[in-house]
Amino acid sequence: MSDKLIIVESPAKANTIKKFLGGNTKVVASMGHIRDLPKSKMGIDIEHDFEPQYINIRGKGELIKSLKKEAKKAKKVYLATDPDREGEAIAWHLSKILEENKEKITRVTFNEITKNAVQKAMKKARDIDINLVDAQQARRVLDRIVGYKISPVLWKKVKRGLSAGRVQSVAVELIVNREEEIENFKPEEYWNIFITLKDEKSKKQFEAKFFGANGKKQELRKQEEVTQILQNIENAKYIVTDVKIGEKKRTPAPPFTTSTMQQEASRKLNFTLKKTMSIAQNLYEGIKIPERGLVGLITYMRTDSTRISEEARKASKEVICKKFGEEYYENRYYKTNKDAQDAHEAIRPTYIDIDPESIKQSLTNDQYKLYKLIYNRFLASQMSPAKYDTMAVTINANNYDFKANGQNLKFKGFMTLYVEGKDEKEQEEEGMLPPLEKDQEVKKVKINPKQSFTEPPPRYTEASLVKALEEQGIGRPSTYSPTITTILERRYIEKIQKQLHPTELGKIVNKLLVENFGDVINVKFTAKIENEFDEIAEGKEEWKKMIREFYNPFEKEVEKEEKELEHVKIEDEVSDVKCEKCGRMMVYKYGKYGKFLACPGYPECKNTKPIVETIDVPCPKCGGKVQVRKTKRRRNYYICENNPKSCDYISWNKPKKGEKWNPEEEKVVLPKTKKKSNVSVKKKSGSKAKKKASTNVNKKSS
């Protein structure tokens, strides 16, 4: 019989905790949720005040028996699931399963898996926080109702297997709206005048940019305006009229929250959100380190707080002063966003003395990259600002003003270790200007008038979409990754070179939802609901009352829209390809692997065809058309239309005009099987690596 039984979610977490607790203590894993709503039906008893009908998850029967058996033997049962709403809900479900042992069940949480944190938590055991549980139940129930009521409309009008969701549909809407902005964007002409000037004393050249006339800023929209200015300054003297010398500081970014970690890992490491969260989970639960055993390397990875503990602050000071010098340390406190839950700390290393290089051999390459990112970001957040000497000058030529700015980095501070990435292109660091003085004349070297056009807003990346969702109050740290993963898997959007594009299917689904369920599928409603979940978590609102207030108007709206949509038929887009079996013009359909052609005569005619995309460069080997195809993992490859009959051209690389194909450098070999096949790649310069993929074959669908 054990004195203590501790139940966590995962075996990795269980193994890490075991080594901190001596005595007769047993640590076991629930393997995540053990109860949930059923998959086969809504599972919400609407008539009995929205009571959720939880069932034991299929396949967990033996585990539940084992947990009950262990709980019976223990003197005290500690539910040590994750320290967030989802973790609190798992603990509550465990308590329901172990109901007969309820008098000895208690709840513990820790933000980091360290000996100190675990032992402290065991001394501060508490009851389950039912407010947090209710907030999770409210989200689960409301999202289940929305999904189960709206998704069938999509099945009837578009195709089976589609889904709608309060957060996922709003994410798709943001991407579709951005695409419409890009499509409707009309570039506007504008001009800049750059002038290269020379300081005769130092012989140093620098560049100034047109600002305006007589101290007033002027936008240049037409070439005629530029021509007029150039004529007026052709023989002018260039006099320095103002010199401002100063110092600029650049402060570090705060330690990571979930969303900033996801954004930075996407920018700097090219990780998907799903990959980032999976690796972070491993680092949190424990990695085997020589001579130290299993070590939880980072604090809990689902957080929207930038707060750090005083212990971590002291440890960071010690490391920074020792490694870089005292002048590099600055005690910093960061303001957490007003909407943040602030339940636990920012994401940081649990042991500041374990630097990434010292444990590189114990980590996978990806674990090392993410741990280094988290470690450096945290240390940099407690470092001194970078300092620049700056100079700003105004140069006048015949009443026209030109401005030049320069800066010189004189103290790197936190930039010695880490600089935050940006979604937009960063400007190159400006060099320092020569030592100019007021009323000094500088010589013109050359003038460069430059025509430009305004550009449309950029498409979202995973990183910038997370940023947009967070800024608009949509979703919470635990929801960003599953939301984007879901809409990619549903093929409402696709990722092309990191950019998120809406598919035709995504546009159709978005149009139907926004036009008919706009009260629910919109940014304001989704953000408002998130705030209500927060109020439930704080005990300020009763969760069933919130669901009641939502459900009645929502149910009426769904009934009304279903009636209005009864006689609406979404027509398939007709192609210019004739069905060779029956002569009808084929239409575009959507299947598991995307868009394909199908005969509209189904079920009499079941003919389907893949859509063949070609490029405007001929086959480098035979001159035929080159087709673009996709592997099962959506990677493009290029193949001659005559392959395999009379030409064997096939490559991962898009061919260029006049470029010869060298099959020995990079060759894709497709086996003869038609439906499912492997693609093996011979890599350049003797690489032994082989990659497998399967060709994208559109299956029959109607």
Residues with a catalytic annotation lie at: 300
| β-strands 105-107, 25-29 pairing | unpaired
| β-strands 585-591, 594-598 pairing | antiparallel
Residue found under tokens 């689902």: 302
Q: What is the CA radius of gyration of the chain?
A: 31
Please choose, from the candidates 253, 246, 248, 263, the residue with its C-alpha nearest in 3D space to the C-alpha of residue 414: 253
> Residue 251 burial (CB < 10 Å; 0-12/13-18/19+)?
middle
Please choose, from the candidates 164, 102, 154, 165, the residue with its C-alpha nearest in 3D space to the C-alpha of residue 128: 102
Please choose, from the candidates 78, 84, 123, the residue with its C-alpha nearest in 3D space to the C-alpha of residue 345: 84
Sheet with 608-610, strands from edge to edge, namely: 574-578, 585-591, 594-598, 608-610
| β-strands 105-107, 76-79 pairing | parallel
Please choose, from the candidates 131, 139, 134, 142, the residue with its C-alpha nearest in 3D space to the C-alpha of residue 550: 142
Token reading at 21: 């607790």
Side-chain-side CA neighbours of 369 within 13 Å: the count stands at: 14
Please choose, from the candidates 298, 346, 338, 281, the residue with its C-alpha nearest in 3D space to the C-alpha of residue 481: 281
What is the distance between the alpha carbons of residues 351 and 358, in angstroms, rounded to a whole number? Answer: 12
CA 361 to chain centroid: 28
Strands, E, within 11-161: which ranges?
25-29, 35-36, 44-45, 51-52, 55-56, 76-79, 105-107
| β-strands 650-651, 574-578 pairing | unpaired
Residues in the chain, overall count: 702
